[in-house]
Structure 1
Amino acid sequence: MGSNFKMIAKTLFGFEEILAKELKNLGASNVVEGTRNVSFEGDTGFMYKANLCLRTAIKIIKPIHSFPVRNEKDLYRKIYHMDWLDYFTVDETFAIDATVFSDEFTHSLFVSQKVKDAIVDKFRDVEGKRPDVDVKNPDLQINIHIHKNACNVSLDSSGNSLHHRGYRTATNIAPINEVLAAGLLLLSGWDGQRDFLDPMCGSGTMLIEAAMIACNIPANINRKGFAFEKWPDFDEVLYEKIIDASLKKTREFRHKIIGYDKAPSAVRKAIDNVENANLADYITVQREDFFKTKKQSEGPLHMCFNPPYGERLDIEMENFYGAIGDTLKQGYPSTNAWLITSNLQALKYVGLRPSRKIKVFNSHLESRLVKYEMYEGSKKAKYQNDTL
């Protein structure tokens, strides 16, 4: 499949460690955690597999050139002298995504414009005409990263963010990002070895990601496509082999995954999305008000949910979060309950002491993923039984 090369997987803040673990489990080498990214090495087949299988990656980019840069003329000249015909033709489209952390370069749009000018001028001089820019669906997405005076040029192998799994066609007011949902589940220790409940499931994202983890289904198996499929060196036969090999590693799931929501519209949307993901055999969605429910199953239960924050949904925080705590205490023994919220004040109303708090971000909102351990009987009795 060819020799190894460096790649970078971008992710959300707080997910670097679990993304690094995912990469190692897939077989990546030289895995190094950064901030919101993890670098690694692999061959072309592994690049395909990373895009297909990683649950907590947003993008997989392939660095192709790096150089020191002093000013805009220097940037233009060095981009111009790259061999762009190795990557796409004059009849194909391209787009530039620039990120800058530099005193010399302070505007990413300006950098994007300079890079675009250099590329089209190079094609015009060599081919006699220029390629077109298409920011929505380019044949080649070019990533420019300038930090101080170092410029890195990469190709985006993913295209649209990898949170676009392909199964979600219906959403509610405040849907959770698929990568965020998968990361929260992995941080919570979900491994498919017990029953699972999302008591406020909305459009079903947490349920679907939980089922895909439990069954070891590739995260992006339902996705329409990746940017690398448009590259001139795309190996379709190799890609099909990667898909087949990944699907052979799926496993059976013998527990229950259940979602509750009290809104009929949310239940309908969740059911539609579950069917789109081909997971109806594993997931049950019911119209229920969590605050009127009790644990239905025997044995341990894993709960993970994304309650309203008050950012986009109007709720009365003190009563709402107090009811979460009361419901867990009164109706959910033998349950590890995890929830994410950006309203840190609201956590005080739950009335339970969390055993863990993990800092994460939901979009721009600094949030906490918190764990409440609900024991069968009192915690003191549980401790005494464990020590006998």
Structure 2
Amino acid sequence: MIAKTLQGLEDILAQEIAELGGEDIEIGKRMVSFKGDKQLLYKTNLCCRTALRVLKPIFSFTASDTDEVYEKIKSFDWHQYLSPEQTFSIESVVFSEEFKHSKFVTYRAKDAIADFFMEKTGKRPSVRLNNADLILNLHIAHNTCTLSLDSSGESLHKRGYRVAQTEAPINEVLAAGLILKSGWKGEKNFIDPMCGSGTILIEAALIATNTAPGIYRKDFAFERWNDYDEELFDSLYNDDSNEKEFNFKIYGSDISPKAIAIARENIKSAGMAKYIDLQVKPFQQYTEAPENGILITNPPYGERISSKDLLGLYEMIGSQLKHVFKGYDAWIISYHDECFNKIGLKPAICINMMNGSLECEYRKYEIFEGKYNDFKRETGGFKEKKKDSESTEFKKREYRFKERNNEKAEKRLPYRDKEPFTKTETRFRKKKDDFEKQPENKRERKDSSIPEWHGEEAVKKFVTFRQPSIGRTPSEDNRPGWKKLRDKNLARKEKEQMKKSRKRNYPDK
């Protein structure tokens, strides 16, 4: 099976699937593949917080053009999954130079299934874009094609508890992923001072109580499959044995009364009102923070939600973190580096994340009193280093870069088996090696026939002093070309005087 997710959350999703009992888990780009039975398929849809949809591959083949795709799909036995009385839909995802139009691929695949049933039964199933009985996913990478059943239907980020929303609400899967990335699972207080419609607050409450996020959905696509086991799914849906008590509090606030009203409706719809404390309050009005807490927030980026003074907003965030939230771990997701720079704090972790089409960063700030050098001496520095959270691709590039440098160093220096030394030591050692390689007759540094001078004798021999020109008359000047320049200036002045006298004597000419 294949579970799809947002970029940057693959490791979190893999961990969730492992906890549910998945086997042979492999992480890919925006997806995690795994093996399991029907029960695991149901549980993945119901319980995974960072999955967007769960696919069950049923047919793989290779094709070089749309005609070949048509023939291969038509040759598949569709009776076990579909009947002429049912409806179906197909979504195509294409990453290939041979297939340039994903919609045309979809049309050909649809025709193949319809023609299969027309030839076999004389009837054809209908295509339905919404709530079809069978939802198919066709994935093409180069010339490898994979046809899968979509067990989720609507994207799993649509939990079902949101009844209203603000201008730019955060994706529920991303909100849950941000919380799980921080490591928080309900062991301390939680605060979001810019909560908007309350998505992060609700996802935090679901995590703290270990409530399955899929219980609010109306249905899943697998409920319309021919082999759907209703009794099995009901037992999983009604099983609350893994839920737990939450003994802390979740605090949310926002500068907008409208946003707080919307958040209150969504929280009530999710049934999490007793765990969440809401109030209309600008971030700059915080004078104290709840003890033993963590802060996670998604401030405006200036893209979908504008701010009159965006950089000033982030400067205020940094000031509040430093003065009010001492001892906290503060996690902030944003888009612009200029905004992060205005916070004025050194991040302990930077994680690349995608928020829709925006390439964002998710940064962790460990808030402490005093200067960082004092904090580092007392505690050893940040709990986690930035390099541990860099992307895998960057780590590979860095590793290859170091490897190349090491290879060059080994060719350049014969001392790799000894203790490392500085660049200056390397330079002098190399000169020493070059000197020792010379023949004995060329190693002589001195010639005994050349006399040596020291002290005042050396100064008189090698140092000359220019005499000052102060007090000299122009006639005494013996600089090269001086006389020639003087004669040239005198001739120019004489010529100018002749012109002036001619004008006086002959004014009409």
TM (norm. structure 1) is 0.95
Select which of 34, 51, 73 maps to 1:79: 73
- How many angstroms apart in 2 are the aligned matches of 1:228 and 1:295? 49
- How many angstroms apart in 1 are the aligned matches of 2:374 and 2:200? 33
Contact 2:311–2:338 (CA under 8 A) maintained in structure 1? no
1:41 aligns with 2:35: yes
Higher helix share: 2
5+ residue gaps in structure 2? 381-509
Residues 167-316 of structure 1: pairs in structure 2 closer than 5 A: 167-245=161-239, 247-298=240-291, 300-315=292-307, 316=309
Residues 117-136 of structure 1: pairs in structure 2 closer than 5 A: 117-136=111-130
- How many angstroms apart in 1 are the aligned matches of 2:371 and 2:209? 34
Aligned to 1:4: none
Contact 1:294–1:332 (CA under 8 A) maintained in structure 2? no
Task: Quote the offset at 1:318 in angstroms.
Answer: 1.4
Contact 1:333–1:377 (CA under 8 A) maintained in structure 2? no
Aligned to 1:365: 358
Higher strand share: 1
Aligned to 2:12: 18
- How many angstroms apart in 1 are the aligned matches of 2:55 and 2:289? 45
Judge which range, 75-84 or 45-54, deviates more.
75-84
Contact 2:170–2:199 (CA under 8 A) maintained in structure 1? yes
Task: Quote the offset at 1:71 in angstroms.
Answer: 1.9
Contact 1:197–1:258 (CA under 8 A) maintained in structure 2? yes
- How many angstroms apart in 1 are the aligned matches of 2:99 and 2:311? 47
1:327 aligns with 2:320: yes
Aligned residues: 379
Judge which range, 58-67 or 98-107, deviates more.
98-107
- How many angstroms apart in 2 are the aligned matches of 1:278 and 1:60? 26
- How many angstroms apart in 1 are the aligned matches of 2:146 and 2:255? 49
- SS for the counterpart of 1:237 is helix
| Counterpart amino acid of residue 374 in structure 1 | I
1:106 aligns with 2:110: no
- SS for the counterpart of 2:213 is coil
Q: Determine what percentage of the aligned residue pairs are the same residue.
A: 46
| Counterpart amino acid of residue 139 in structure 1 | D
Give a deviation string over 1:209-242, Cα, whole Å, max 9, x none: 1111111111211111100000011000000111
Q: Give the greater-gyration-radius structure (CA).
A: 2
Give a deviation string over 1:116-141, Cα, whole Å, max 9, x none: 00011111222222211111221111
| Counterpart amino acid of residue 64 in structure 1 | I
Task: Indicate the RMSD between aligned Cα atoms, in angstroms.
Answer: 1.4
Task: Quote the offset at 1:266 in angstroms.
Answer: 0.6
Work out which structure has the larger RCO, using CA pairs closer than 8 Å and 6 or more positions apart in sequence.
Answer: 1
Give a deviation string over 1:14-56, Cα, whole Å, max 9, x none: 1111111111111100000001000001100110000000011
Aligned to 2:49: 55
- SS for the counterpart of 2:216 is coil
| Counterpart amino acid of residue 200 in structure 1 | M
- SS for the counterpart of 1:86 is coil
| Counterpart amino acid of residue 365 in structure 1 | L
Task: Quote the offset at 1:244 in angstroms.
Answer: 2.9
Give a deviation string over 1:57-83, Cα, whole Å, max 9, x none: 101000001011122221111101112
Residues 134-153 of structure 1: pairs in structure 2 closer than 5 A: 134-153=128-147
Give a deviation string over 1:90-141, Cα, whole Å, max 9, x none: 1221111101112211111011000000011111222222211111221111
- How many angstroms apart in 2 are the aligned matches of 1:347 and 1:122? 57
